[in-house]
């Protein structure tokens, strides 16, 4: 037992799942950031050909991340409109 009634194996499994989720998010965002122009090997891979193939799981994660970005942006828009209703340039922020 590690603590709180969790076995060492359960803790390791939990950490592996967490690491998989974080790496999945990185992989998904890699494909969003680098649409063929990242030949120098950034993030987790030394070469572009080392990157994993695009899978349904990666696409779903990218879509989830983009939806989070949209929600964050829209939330900020609402705050700006509420807090600065007549601020110069506000019309540029309207979506």
Residue 82 has pLDDT above 70, yes or no: yes
Give strand pairing partners of 3.
Answer: 6
Q: What is the pLDDT of residue 49?
A: 67
Residue 94 in contact with residue 73, Cβ under 8 Å? no
Please, which residues have CB within 8 angstroms of residue 80's CB and are 6 or more apart in sequence? 87, 90, 93
Q: What is the pLDDT of residue 78?
A: 81
For the residues 27-47, what does the mean pLDDT come to?
A: 66
The pLDDT of residue 36 is above 80: no
On whether the CB atoms of residues 43 and 26 are closer than 8 A, the answer is yes
Picking from 7, 8, 64, 53, the residue whose alpha carbon sits closest to that of residue 31 is 53
Taking the complete model, does pTM exceed 0.85, yes or no? Answer: no
pLDDT band at 31 (very low <50, low <70, confident <90, very high): confident
């Amino acid at each position: 037992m590690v603590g709180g009634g969790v076995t060492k194996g359960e803790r390791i499994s939990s950490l592996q799942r967490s690491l998989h989720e974080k790496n999945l998010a990185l992989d998904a965002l890699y494909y969003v950031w680098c649409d063929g122009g990242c030949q120098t090997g950034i993030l987790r891979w030394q070469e572009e050909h080392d990157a994993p193939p695009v899978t349904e799981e990666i696409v779903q994660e990218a879509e989830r991340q983009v939806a989070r970005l949209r929600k964050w942006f829209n939330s900020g828009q609402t705050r700006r409109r509420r807090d600065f209703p007549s601020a110069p340039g506000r019309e540029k922020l309207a979506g």
